[in-house]
Structure 1
Amino acid sequence: MITSVTRRLALGLFAGATLMATAVSAQDFPNRVIKMVVPYPAGGPTDVIARIVAEEMGKSLGQNVIVENLAGASGAVGTRTVARAEPDGYTIVFGNNQTHGNNMFLLKEPGYDAIKDFAPLAGAGAFEHVFVVPNSLPVKSMQELVALAKKDPGKLNYGSTGVGSGSHLATELFMTRTGIKMTHVPFRGAAPLVTELMAGRIDVSNSTLPSVLAQFQAGEMRAIGIASPQRNPQAPDVPTLREQGITDADAESWAAFFAPVNTPKPILDKLSGTIITILNKPDVKERITKLGFTLNVRDPEAFKPYLAKEIQTWADVIKTANIKAE
Structure 2
Amino acid sequence: MMMSATRRLALGLVAGATLFATAASAQTFPNRIVKMVVPYPAGGPTDVIARIVAEDMGKELGQNVIVENLAGASGAIGTRAVAKAEPDGYTIVFGNNQTHGNNMFLLKEPGYDAVKDFAPLAGAGAFEHVFVVSNDLPVKSMQELIALAKKDPSKLNYGSTGVGSGSHLATELFMVRTGTQMTHVPFRGAAPLVTELMASRIDVSNSTLPSVLAQFQAGQMRAIGIASPQRNAQAPDVPTLREQGITDADAESWAAFFAPVNTPKPILDKLSGTIIAILKKPDIKERITKLGFTLNVRDPEAFRPYLAKEIQTWAEIIKTANIKAE
TM-score interval for Structure 1 and Structure 2 normalised by the shorter chain: over 0.9
The unaligned stretches of length 5 or more in structure 1 are none
2:123 is paired with a residue of what secondary structure?
strand
Deviates more, 1:134-143 or 1:91-100: 134-143
Shift of 1:151: 1.8
In structure 2, relative to structure 1, the CA distance for the partners of 1:152 and 1:120 (3 Å cut) is same
Shift of 1:77: 0.8
Aligned residues: 326
Deviates more, 1:82-91 or 1:192-201: 192-201
Deviates more, 1:198-207 or 1:291-300: 198-207
User: Are 2:41 and 2:191, in contact at CA under 8 Å, matched by a contact in 1?
Assistant: no
Distance in 2 (CA, whole Å) between partners of 1:226 and 1:322 is: 24
Distance in 1 (CA, whole Å) between partners of 2:161 and 2:173 is: 16
**Percent identity of equivalent pairs:** 90
Distance in 1 (CA, whole Å) between partners of 2:52 and 2:3 is: 57
1:130 is paired with a residue of what secondary structure?
strand
2:109 is paired with a residue of what secondary structure?
coil
Distance in 2 (CA, whole Å) between partners of 1:287 and 1:196 is: 26
User: Are 2:71 and 2:188, in contact at CA under 8 Å, matched by a contact in 1?
Assistant: no
Distance in 2 (CA, whole Å) between partners of 1:14 and 1:3 is: 16
Distance in 2 (CA, whole Å) between partners of 1:137 and 1:3 is: 78
Shift of 1:3: 5.3
Shift of 1:240: 0.7
1:58-98 residue CA offsets vs partner (Å, 9 max, x unmatched) = 11111111111111111111111110111010100000111
Deviates more, 1:132-141 or 1:256-265: 132-141
Distance in 1 (CA, whole Å) between partners of 2:221 and 2:291 is: 17
Distance in 1 (CA, whole Å) between partners of 2:289 and 2:5 is: 61
1:147-166 residue CA offsets vs partner (Å, 9 max, x unmatched) = 22122222221111111111
2:154 is paired with a residue of what secondary structure?
coil
TM-score (norm 1): 0.97
Deviates more, 1:225-234 or 1:151-160: 151-160
Shift of 1:2: 9.6
Distance in 2 (CA, whole Å) between partners of 1:185 and 1:210 is: 20
Distance in 2 (CA, whole Å) between partners of 1:161 and 1:284 is: 26
2:310 is paired with a residue of what secondary structure?
helix
Distance in 1 (CA, whole Å) between partners of 2:121 and 2:277 is: 12
User: Are 2:38 and 2:95, in contact at CA under 8 Å, matched by a contact in 1?
Assistant: yes
Distance in 2 (CA, whole Å) between partners of 1:204 and 1:7 is: 69
TM-score (norm 2): 0.97
Shift of 1:182: 1.2
1:108 is matched with 108
User: Are 2:42 and 2:191, in contact at CA under 8 Å, matched by a contact in 1?
Assistant: no
Shift of 1:103: 0.8
User: Are 2:231 and 2:240, in contact at CA under 8 Å, matched by a contact in 1?
Assistant: yes
2:95 is paired with a residue of what secondary structure?
strand
**Cα root mean square deviation, aligned:** 1.3
1:161 is matched with 161
Shift of 1:117: 0.3
Determine whether 1:208 maps to 2:208: yes
1:68 is matched with 68
In structure 2, relative to structure 1, the CA distance for the partners of 1:254 and 1:3 (3 Å cut) is closer
Distance in 2 (CA, whole Å) between partners of 1:204 and 1:3 is: 70
1:296 is paired with a residue of what secondary structure?
strand
1:194-226 residue CA offsets vs partner (Å, 9 max, x unmatched) = 222222222211001111111110111110000
Deviates more, 1:198-207 or 1:269-278: 198-207
1:272 is matched with 272
The unaligned stretches of length 5 or more in structure 2 are none
1:105 is paired with a residue of what secondary structure?
helix
Deviates more, 1:182-191 or 1:162-171: 182-191
Q: Give runs of ≥4 in structure 1 deviating > 4 Å.
A: none
1:123-163 residue CA offsets vs partner (Å, 9 max, x unmatched) = 00111100001122111111111122122222221111111
Distance in 1 (CA, whole Å) between partners of 2:3 and 2:280 is: 56
1:27 is paired with a residue of what secondary structure?
helix
Deviates more, 1:136-145 or 1:195-204: 195-204
User: Are 2:88 and 2:264, in contact at CA under 8 Å, matched by a contact in 1?
Assistant: yes
